[in-house]
Structure 1
Amino acid sequence: MGLKARRAVLIRITGLVQGVGFRPFIHRIARRSGVRGYVKNLGGSEVEVWAEGADGAVRRFLELLEHERPPPAELDEVNVIEVEPRGYREFRILRSGRQVTRRSQIPPDIGVCEHCLREVLDPSSRWYRYAFNSCAWCGPRFSMMYSTPYDRENTAMRAFPLCDECRREYSDPDNLRRFHAQGISCPRCGPKLWLLDGRGREIACEDPIREAARLVDEGFIVAVKGVGGFHIAALASDDDVVAELRRRKHRPQKPFAIMALDLEVVGRIARPCEKHVELLCSPQRPIVLVPKREEAPVSELVAPGLAEIGVMLPYTPLHYLLLMETRDKFLIMTSGNRRGLPICTGVEALEELKGIADYFLLHNREIVNRVDDSVVRLTDGIPQLLRRARGYAPRWIRVPFKLEREVIALGAHLSNAGAVAFEDRVIPTQYVGDMDCLENVEFLLSALKFLEECYKLSAKAIASDAHPGYVTTRLAASKASQLGVPHIRVQHHHAHIVSAMASVGIQADEEVLGVAIDGAGYGADGKIWGGEVMVASYTGYERVGHLEYIPLPGGDRATIYPARIVAATLSLELGPEHALKICEKLGLHHSLPGGRAELALAARSAPSAPQASSVGRFLDAASAILGICRERTYEGEPAMKLEAAARGGGLVGGLKLEVEDGRVVVREYLLRLAEAVDEHSVKDLAYTTQVRLGEALGLLAREALGDAHMPVVVSGGAAVNDYIIKGLKKTVGKLLLPRGIPPGDGGIAVGQAVVAGLSFFE
């Protein structure tokens, strides 16, 4: 057939198309349809295809491209251009190019597929008990990438040249899962495992995984190097082991995650619904918060005071083999780090985890990009990300408009993540953590740098929170000065609402009624906000309602010991003496290091104390009054335990939060709650407090809406609370919650990036 009888198309494809077996798939459908040409990866994580042949063959190829794809692949854009045929004689997978024609998605890590796991468990397979088995459809991706495009030479697997047998499979077009799969290996050519004791001496053993499992069963604590960092593995069924792990990690109350071998084991310790199961089995394999069974063989010390436990399934053969060898078939599998520091990834673990881990199960594949486990819960039956990391990062958020400029956003302060933005895409970094230690700040900057370099970003604005004291605000100012671009400071709660708006596809010219509920954010009046109702667009907002301000005597100390908030709030209502009598009757002085003297000081300093309209601080105070949690040892603890205590509760008649002059009246409510403690059950009072708060915020929203019709968007760390959302829905009807990003500060950089990307400035 002459060139004139041929048709040719040049196709550029973006989406999740690198690291998912997409080039081998293109090669297969090219052979099936009879076209010739090539497919190759490009430097922006996109794929380029040249297909030529008879018109019918090209049409068949395009039909197959539209209707078929590898399991993990996702297509965002397929751009087809008619071109002149070149006379190719075959269809080939070409060496990747470095040029960027269109920017596409960097592949996240993908949980082990059923096919690879079956090979690992099959005694006749050459991958039998091989901890690093993977294929085109599963395995590490982002965590082992140095750069784009996704080729073996740009990943940590370049240290492991393929053996002859793996090379044959890699080169075989008929091998569905291993043809041109970049991360494959086998026991002959892949990474190796070994076991060390706490002093760094190698333990002589035939099978390091079996030996590690035996040690865990004996009550030892083992650090396990995984995909994106280290885990600490320990028995979850033994009170003494869990108590010792808490002592070593200086983690008195914060819940530990559990990894369970399979769904049958999950069912022994928790009560998952269909949506929980779907999340547990998804390629992302996150930690999922699931109601725990009352009779579960899990120590109460794993998640003290909470109604749910965080459970995940094994996402690598290594984890599966380890759990398979243990007696319980489930273990604590918590992040391998010292409190407040990033998760360990390499040899530093031997020093950092000394005194925490008794033994270390190690391998020699480098972890290039640190990435912790993601955490998901259901709120009103809708999945909500609490921590966006492995499996989700660094996927992008598509917005329904084009940004005016490329942006780098540094996020806020607690549970932080950054973001970059260009065109109609925002890419959050993986979860980083709190910004009060240098190591996390360095982690944030390196995570942003990776995205900047992969996407060849040319930032024309730097965005941050408006809080003048945040490290990220100062970093943003410095970076903006270095680049000679504007530094855009975005009000905290406006950024929360914009993040949610962008994630659910609100158009650029739309306004919403935003309800932002969290612990703290710097307000435009210099006070602490956190219970806000605002009419918001992408570039501005008007505050139309909020929680009544309550005092925080001692500032941050009041957030640790919420009895101080109670004493000061009641003092404003009743005067110090009467307030102290009620507080002492509740036993609040016992929760303060300074006892009665500290309680009295808090009560008397109420008029001059910092003020907050914060939902988080209101919930902390209610939790303290009800005796549920009177000392915060981790972020959100009193509110989380208040939500757990409300399970099975009902409304207490006559106990309501009033709305006056655009404010939810919380001070009077806390007084009435304190008076009701002897008359009603804790679970009913906890339930009533949270549902009534949602109803009151809904009334504020309804008043602000009037006759107007606009979407109601809810965001902020407290937006995951089932009972608050229930109360809000009761009064305003349909709500929009964030999709694909955390409602808390882990998603706030998305909003900052969009505000800066759309705002007008000279």
Structure 2
Amino acid sequence: MFRKSIKISITGRVQGVGFRPFVYSLAIKYQLTGIVQNNLDGVLILAEGEELPLSQMVAELKEKRPRLAIIRSITVEKQSLKGYTQFSILQSDDKGGTIPWMPTDTAICDNCLLEMSDPTNRRYQYAFTNCTQCGPRYTIISKLPYDRTMTTMNSFKMCKQCQKEYDDPMNRRHHAQPICCSDCGPTISLSDDTGNEIASDYVAITKTQALIKQGKLITIKGVGGFHLTCDAHQKDAISRLREMKKRPQRPLAVMVKSIDVAKKICLISKKEEAILKSPEMPIVILQKRKDCPLPNNLSPHLSTLGVMLPYTPLHHLLFDHLNLEFLVMTSANPSGLPIYFKDEELPLLQNLSDYTLYHNRPIEHPIDDSVVQCDGEGVSFIRRARGYTPDPLLTKANVDQIIALGGNQKNTFAIGKPNHIVMSGHIGDLDSEEMVGFYKKQQNHFKNYLCFQEKYAAIDKHPEYETTLIGNELKGRIISVQHHHAHHVSCMADNGLEEPCLGIILDGTGYGEDGHIWGFEWLYGNASSFERLAHLRYSPLPGADKAVREPWRNAIGMILHYWPEEGVDLATQLFPERVEEVHIIKNMIDKKVNTPLAGTCGRLFDAVSAILGICLESTYEGEAAIQLSDFMNRTNKDEQKIYPYTIQLIENGLFQLDVSPMIYEIIQDHLHQLEPEKIIATFHETIISACVKMLLTFIKRRPTLNRNVILSGGSFQNLYLARQIKSRLKKEGFSVYTHKKVPCNDGGLSLGQLLIASQTINKPKTLD
């Protein structure tokens, strides 16, 4: 029969996922000869055989793929015959020019779990069991392409049995780069708070279990860093962990033994269960059951709990025996400092806990756990990290040689390559010298990975952001981007939108083009430009950032601004213990001393939270607003009443939302002791009503505006707000889009910055 030859080029997440063995098995199945090879672009296949089997192989490549593979493109070209006599898997080639995909870390698969639980298997109870479908990837890679010699596993020489599996194209561990067993792989040890080893291997695990049951705090080295853990049943242990971590109120995540155990503490939908059990296994924010047996100090004042399943072999072993079902699992670092991941940081970890469960597989790149919530239709990211990054995002924009530095809170950065954007995982808040240093190191890692040197750098317009200072240190041309424009474009990109559209940006804080603090915005535009259509009426923030940390200041400032005469009396009634501060703040406002003007959704929620006595001082970002919003998870949602507000045309077609009538009514309802749940429900309905009515006002005046609407900004982590605004806008004939692949908060900011910078750079030059 007549033989043909084809060249197949495949891009996407096709390295570190068993793709070459998959191709090899297809070649054997269809009796083809040729080669398959990794390179920096993806996977290259040269296949020879009869026309029908070749076509069948290509069809199966498109229709079926390894569990973890993501195929972005498959191109097939005819080639001249080379006369291959067999099909072979070649060593990786370090050449290529498009975008190198870095494989993501993946939860242990069912096959490996079965081996670990089988006493006759040589990997029985082995804490580093993995295969091509699971295990560490990004966190152990030192250089691409993804081969054993380019990972931190290079120092562990494979035993004969592992080498045999690694070399066998029909074995599921063929070219599984982290492959190992108890004879040749990493080991575990348990040490006390002085660093003395007290147990090793499986004995170390059983000893750790016993110590956890005794209420001890344990530092555990994981895939992407060190975790701090304790028994989630023990209130005192949790309180001590909070004290050591300097995290008094912020919710703590819980790792549970199984999905059935998770259902003992939380209500779980089918969609949420699928996310929990996915290969990424993120932390999922779930609604607590009313009879949840765990202590309230896991997530103080909240009806939700962050839950994840065990995603490493070590995690599963910790839940064996001794009836352990729930473990607090949080990053082992004091709040405000980077995640610890280096072995030389062990002395610092000993100050945080009683014991350390350590392994000797080095971590090349740290990464946090991802955090998501289910909005009923899909996944909404709060933190995009392990399991999801650094998968690149496709783009039509010319973003090559552009870096976007993100914001100061929930930071991520983004790097542009031809037709792709690579976003970092969650970095955190750049509020300390240590965090800034960590940020710079992560940025350098990505630049080395991607062979990247910036020609342009996109930064936030805030002159005092750390990212602004860092940007000024770079060699490229600096492009300043307005904060909420970046949010707007980030959501557009997340939904593949390019034409100008409407946007509602509900956010905490962003530097405005008029020098004031923006954060409750109605915009129209795209990456090329934007128009500010409306905003929340400004009010002073007494003490600036201090008012963000102490919402009672924000509330008093708002009250005194709205009602200069009556406001003093109202403020002292609401905050009788702050009488002296009320007069100090009034003096600050009158003299305009350290009282920047702000109109933000986050600060509005903070003020209402403080007025109602829910949260007067925030111990973590957004605490006051989060606690206020949480009431919508546990109150009657049939409330249709709204508070009064006004929409005013103030200048040059710009509208303003004035909620002072609403604030006055809220104060009166609170002073007359109306139930907080009713006030909060009405407050939410008012915000929803105002958002919709404002858009209808624009459309009435300017009917030619595109009726596509994006919703972005950190306040849209409030799922009730997001769902209701989306639903009601749809009823009015708008098409509404929310975030899908990146967070609505500042974690998605760098994506928008990058695309706006691209448009700025590539705008056609006009003749003077």
Preserved contact between residue 276 and residue 283 of structure 2 (Cα < 8 Å): yes
Give how far 1:441 is off.
Answer: 2.0
* CA distance in 2: counterparts of 1:320 and 1:168, whole angstroms: 27
Preserved contact between residue 385 and residue 740 of structure 1 (Cα < 8 Å): yes
- Per-residue deviation, residues 286-326 of structure 1 (Å, max 9, x unmatched): 00000011221211000001110000000001011112345
Equivalent of 2:408 in 405, 409, 413: 413
Equivalent of 2:563 in 574, 586, 594: 574
Secondary structure at 1:244's aligned position in 2?
A: helix
* CA distance in 2: counterparts of 1:155 and 1:658, whole angstroms: 61
**Corresponding position of 2:29:** 32
Amino acid at match of 2:679: L
Give how far 1:392 is off.
Answer: 0.6
Preserved contact between residue 464 and residue 476 of structure 1 (Cα < 8 Å): yes
Show the 5 A alignment for 1:156-167.
156-167=152-163
> What are the ranges of 5 or more consecutive residues in structure 2 without an aligned counterpart?
650-654
**Corresponding position of 1:169:** 165
**Corresponding position of 1:525:** 514
Matched, 1:633 2:619: yes
Matched, 1:372 2:363: no
**Corresponding position of 1:741:** 742
* CA distance in 2: counterparts of 1:334 and 1:376, whole angstroms: 15
Equivalent of 2:445 in 433, 440, 450: 450
TM superposition score normalised by structure 1: 0.95
Give how far 1:380 is off.
Answer: 5.2
Equivalent of 1:584 in 568, 572, 581: 572
Aligned alpha-carbon RMSD (Å):
1.7
Equivalent of 2:587 in 590, 604, 623: 604
* CA distance in 2: counterparts of 1:120 and 1:492, whole angstroms: 49
**Corresponding position of 1:149:** 145
Give how far 1:85 is off.
Answer: 1.3
Show the 5 A alignment for 1:219-368.
219-368=215-364
**Corresponding position of 1:725:** 722
- Per-residue deviation, residues 373-413 of structure 1 (Å, max 9, x unmatched): 000012354321111110011011223x2315431111110
- Per-residue deviation, residues 268-295 of structure 1 (Å, max 9, x unmatched): 1111111111110111100000001122
Preserved contact between residue 720 and residue 743 of structure 1 (Cα < 8 Å): yes
Amino acid at match of 1:258: V
Structure 1 consecutive aligned stretches of length 4 or more whose deviation exceeds 4 Å: none
Q: Which moved more, 1:446-455 or 1:165-174?
A: 446-455
Preserved contact between residue 695 and residue 727 of structure 1 (Cα < 8 Å): no
**Corresponding position of 2:656:** 663
* CA distance in 2: counterparts of 1:652 and 1:740, whole angstroms: 33
Amino acid at match of 2:648: E
**Corresponding position of 2:636:** 649
**Corresponding position of 2:755:** 754
Matched, 1:683 2:677: yes
* CA distance in 2: counterparts of 1:448 and 1:710, whole angstroms: 38
Preserved contact between residue 257 and residue 310 of structure 1 (Cα < 8 Å): yes
Distance change in 2, residues 1:380/1:29 (3 Å):
closer
- Per-residue deviation, residues 507-538 of structure 1 (Å, max 9, x unmatched): 3xx01101111110010001100011100211
Preserved contact between residue 642 and residue 685 of structure 2 (Cα < 8 Å): no
- Per-residue deviation, residues 156-200 of structure 1 (Å, max 9, x unmatched): 11111211111111122222x212222211111111000010111
Preserved contact between residue 412 and residue 748 of structure 2 (Cα < 8 Å): yes
* CA distance in 1: counterparts of 2:445 and 2:685, whole angstroms: 43
Secondary structure at 2:567's aligned position in 1?
A: helix
Give how far 1:679 is off.
Answer: 4.5
**Corresponding position of 1:698:** 692
Distance change in 2, residues 1:410/1:585 (3 Å):
same
Distance change in 2, residues 1:353/1:600 (3 Å):
farther
**Corresponding position of 1:489:** 480
Amino acid at match of 2:581: E
Amino acid at match of 2:18: G
Distance change in 2, residues 1:618/1:60 (3 Å):
same
Distance change in 2, residues 1:384/1:656 (3 Å):
farther
Q: Which moved more, 1:656-665 or 1:287-296?
A: 656-665
* CA distance in 2: counterparts of 1:195 and 1:654, whole angstroms: 59
> What are the ranges of 5 or more consecutive residues in structure 1 without an aligned counterpart?
none
Q: Which moved more, 1:31-40 or 1:318-327?
A: 318-327
**Corresponding position of 2:652:** none
- Per-residue deviation, residues 593-636 of structure 1 (Å, max 9, x unmatched): xx322232123323422111110000000001111111111011
Distance change in 2, residues 1:600/1:99 (3 Å):
same
- Per-residue deviation, residues 213-270 of structure 1 (Å, max 9, x unmatched): 1101100000000000011111111221111111111111001000001011101111
**Corresponding position of 2:428:** 433
Preserved contact between residue 285 and residue 312 of structure 1 (Cα < 8 Å): yes
- Per-residue deviation, residues 683-715 of structure 1 (Å, max 9, x unmatched): 121122123212212222222234233310011
* CA distance in 2: counterparts of 1:183 and 1:33, whole angstroms: 30
Give how far 1:153 is off.
Answer: 0.8
Amino acid at match of 1:194: S
* CA distance in 1: counterparts of 2:450 and 2:408, whole angstroms: 25
Q: Which moved more, 1:561-570 or 1:218-227?
A: 561-570
Preserved contact between residue 253 and residue 305 of structure 2 (Cα < 8 Å): yes
Distance change in 2, residues 1:326/1:437 (3 Å):
farther
* CA distance in 2: counterparts of 1:189 and 1:296, whole angstroms: 43
Q: Which moved more, 1:318-327 or 1:408-417?
A: 318-327
Equivalent of 1:465 in 460, 472, 476: 460
**Corresponding position of 2:4:** 7
Preserved contact between residue 519 and residue 717 of structure 1 (Cα < 8 Å): yes
**Corresponding position of 2:548:** 559
Distance change in 2, residues 1:324/1:50 (3 Å):
same
Equivalent of 2:491 in 486, 490, 500: 500
Secondary structure at 1:264's aligned position in 2?
A: helix
Amino acid at match of 1:645: F
Distance change in 2, residues 1:663/1:378 (3 Å):
farther
* CA distance in 1: counterparts of 2:443 and 2:681, whole angstroms: 41
Matched, 1:53 2:52: no
* CA distance in 2: counterparts of 1:380 and 1:317, whole angstroms: 31
Amino acid at match of 1:649: N
Equivalent of 1:613 in 580, 599, 606: 599
**Alignment length (residue pairs):** 744
* CA distance in 2: counterparts of 1:350 and 1:454, whole angstroms: 27
* CA distance in 2: counterparts of 1:409 and 1:700, whole angstroms: 32
Preserved contact between residue 405 and residue 459 of structure 2 (Cα < 8 Å): yes
Amino acid at match of 1:551: P
* CA distance in 2: counterparts of 1:30 and 1:190, whole angstroms: 32
Give how far 1:672 is off.
Answer: 1.6
Preserved contact between residue 195 and residue 350 of structure 2 (Cα < 8 Å): no
Secondary structure at 2:9's aligned position in 1?
A: strand
Q: Which moved more, 1:404-413 or 1:332-341?
A: 404-413
Amino acid at match of 1:7: K
Amino acid at match of 2:609: S
Secondary structure at 1:203's aligned position in 2?
A: strand
Q: Which moved more, 1:296-305 or 1:684-693?
A: 684-693
Amino acid at match of 1:449: N
Amino acid at match of 2:675: S
* CA distance in 1: counterparts of 2:467 and 2:682, whole angstroms: 38
